[in-house]
Chain A
Amino acid sequence: MSSAAIPRDPLALELCALSKTFTLGGGMLHKSRSLQAVKDVSLRVPHGQVMGLVGESGCGKSTLAKMLLGLTKPSGGDVLINGKAIVNANQKALARHIQPIFQDPYSSLNPRQRIAQIVGLPLRIHAIGTAKEQAVKVEEMLDMVGLPKRAAQQYPGQMSGGQRQRVAIARALIMRPDLVICDEPTSALDVSVQAQILNLLLDLKDEFGLTYLFISHDLAVVEHLADRLAVMYLGRIVEEGTREQIFTAPRHPYTQALLASALTPEPGLGVPDIGLGAGQPDPSRPPSGCAFHPRCPMAQPECAQQAPALSALDQNNQGRVACHFA
């Protein structure tokens, strides 16, 4: 049944010094500029784990996801899935191992196709089974994501946001991938529906032994799902560690600010004054040295001179942080 190869490599996903530089502008009158969306990102995700990736808009998390899916070519570095580099892998072979779930279920489903067609498309592309077998698989998959049988004949426009996201999940999982990139899968949903989808993602992970790269800006959601977390700021990972490390003892001042700004539903605590300046940096003109230094409450003169390396906190490589003072 499972089309995925038996994992030979202990890591479902490994990123080695991955970088992406975009060129902006460049016309007759303007000099072109370069924007380093992702800088030197290294990350290891073992099988069956959920790696949370957090950071604010423009920090490069979506560019990272696109490189993993083969939708954008990296400027440098390697992506290894199950120990194999994907740089020259063809898109079709890659799609068997890695699948995305996107944020907006309103724009990620073809409005003119029935749900059965949408979910069954990967099977048709990869020519798996006869039409009848495909239909059975689609029906099984819809059932697994909690959609009724009649959903197969509906169009996306007849469904609610939560149901559409279930369709997107069914489509992603029908090829039984090892790795699923969840790019803000619940951000467009209402809270009561968000809980249903998070439960479903957790159930399916156990059922299929999936590995998730879970991208989100909602720290409560990430804390609920992730085993490990990587925090990105302006294209770099500034801190990485286990969920406990990040949430109980964050080392990087940016991680600390992120955690302080997460508003838990506890009345009477008020809104924290997180002490970051008003200025969000322009990613195409990153500050010198440590990119966070203009907003950092702990910044010293040396922070503007030299960018801190992402270094291990201990020998076991349990956590890494990029700060001169961590």
Chain B
Amino acid sequence: MSNLSSAERSTAPASPLLSVKQLRVDLPVAKGTLHAVRGIDFHVERGEMLCLVGESGCGKSMTSLALMGLLPRKAQINADCLNFDGVDLLTVSERERSNLRGSRMAMIFQEPMTALNPAYTLGNQLCEALRRHQRVSRKAAHDRAVYLLERVGISAATERMRQYPHQLSGGLRQRVMIAMALMCEPDLIIADEPTTALDVTIQAQILHLLRDLQQEFGTAIIFITHDLGVVARIADRVAVMYAGEVIETASAQALFHAPSHPYTQGLLRCIPTPGKTLPGSRLQAIPGVVPSLIDKVEGCAFCNRCDQADQRCHTTPPLQTVAGGHLSRCHFAHQLANPATINAQEVTL
């Protein structure tokens, strides 16, 4: 539908679609400065699904808002490199930024009821997304909206176009959000916990749909979630975040089969998994809590919760390569990556 294919748009097709180096986000708060994102590196290839996983407060949402240029005004953003397909997102003007947003990068939020405007019909909102960025006729925009609504599994799409968001269930609203994100065929979609508010059967349907559409349209997706079950099923690559840092990056297979950071290992051990954890048995919880990011964190941020930590951990660990494309920010990454060590730690039934 769009006038340009992504190959024609891009200046250097071989480079990653998005590359982020040493991204930092600081927020002034009452007690000082909250270091929400503390120097993270990652990249997204064209057409790939990258999952950003982490618990609340780890900086995953701040990262996505920084990429979209939607951070609160007071926030300070710094990076060595924040490059989206040849465009430097740090120096881009507000006008160019707003041209990118919606047309080449789109966002799907967790709560579709607050992201959709209650005062406009779905048709209005869907078409606006396209007509804001491209010179297309009302009719063409309408047709594309109907096509996409059908494509995301909404029946009677033409009638739905005249409905308002409150007339739809949560699952349908999230489908509308996905359709809206796809209106301009963006190169990158950032989906921030898009299925967390939904029931499990609806979640499975939405994820299935997202995976299908991603493959069909070749869209790259940054999928932000805290649910490791979701990550395992949809991710090509995974970046695990903890206390404002990316602590491990790997392919989904490598991350789940050979986790190489104590935090990732702990996360995988503490979720009840059918066939792995005995019902009614004690789960291996990670002790303690996430450190405050208001003060400066010295050394490894995980060291006070880590059972492997020694005096080395008071110095900041470098990002170490444990295998091709598998990075871990831990002094012991190489020992942890050794499968023999991991098997010994796994819960045996």
Main secondary structure of the interface of B (DSSP, over half): helix
CB pair B204–A269 under 8 Å, yes or no, is: no
Name the CB-closest residue of B to A190.
B55
- How extensive is the interface on chain B, given as a class? 35 or more
* B272 within 8 A of partner (CB): yes
CB pair B283–A199 under 8 Å, yes or no, is: yes
CB pair B200–A262 under 8 Å, yes or no, is: yes
Which A46-76 residues sit within 8 Å CB-CB of chain B? Answer: 56-57
Interface code A147-190, partner B: CB below 8 Å = 1, 0 otherwise? 00000000000001110000000000000000000000000001
Distance to closest chain A CB from B161 (angstroms): 16
* B346 within 8 A of partner (CB): no
Q: A199–B269 Cα gap in the complex (Å)?
A: 13
CB pair A264–B273 under 8 Å, yes or no, is: yes
CB pair B274–A191 under 8 Å, yes or no, is: no
Name the CB-closest residue of A to B257.
A267
- How extensive is the interface on chain A, given as a class? 35 or more
Q: A267–B110 Cα gap in the complex (Å)?
A: 23
* A114 within 8 A of partner (CB): no
Q: Which residues of B contact A267 (CB under 8 A)?
A: 232-233, 235, 252-253, 255-257
Name the CB-closest residue of A to B268.
A265
Q: A220–B231 Cα gap in the complex (Å)?
A: 16
CB pair A273–B271 under 8 Å, yes or no, is: no
Distance to closest chain B CB from A173 (angstroms): 19
Decide: A220 near B268, CB < 8 A? Known: A271-B208, A278-B154, A278-B205: no
Decide: A273 near B208, CB < 8 A? Known: A191-B55, A266-B256, A280-B202: yes
Distance to closest chain A CB from B31 (angstroms): 13
* A131 within 8 A of partner (CB): no
Decide: A265 near B229, CB < 8 A? Known: A270-B211, A280-B171: yes
Q: A262–B271 Cα gap in the complex (Å)?
A: 13
- Most chain A beta-carbon neighbours within 10 Å: one of B155, B235, B256, B279: B279
* A196 within 8 A of partner (CB): yes
* B98 within 8 A of partner (CB): no
Decide: A278 near B175, CB < 8 A? Known: A56-B199, A219-B200: yes
CB pair B274–A194 under 8 Å, yes or no, is: no
Q: A272–B267 Cα gap in the complex (Å)?
A: 23
Q: Which residues of B contact A202 (CB under 8 A)?
A: 280, 282
- Chain A contact residues, CB within 8 Å of chain B: 56-57, 160-162, 190-196, 198-199, 202, 217, 219-221, 223-225, 243, 247, 257-258, 260-274, 276, 278-280
Having A191-B55, A191-B270, one finds 15 other A-B pairs with CB under 8 Å, namely A190-B226, A194-B271, A196-B285, A219-B200, A220-B273, A223-B279, A258-B201, A262-B229, A263-B203, A266-B256, A267-B232, A267-B233, A267-B235, A276-B201, A280-B171
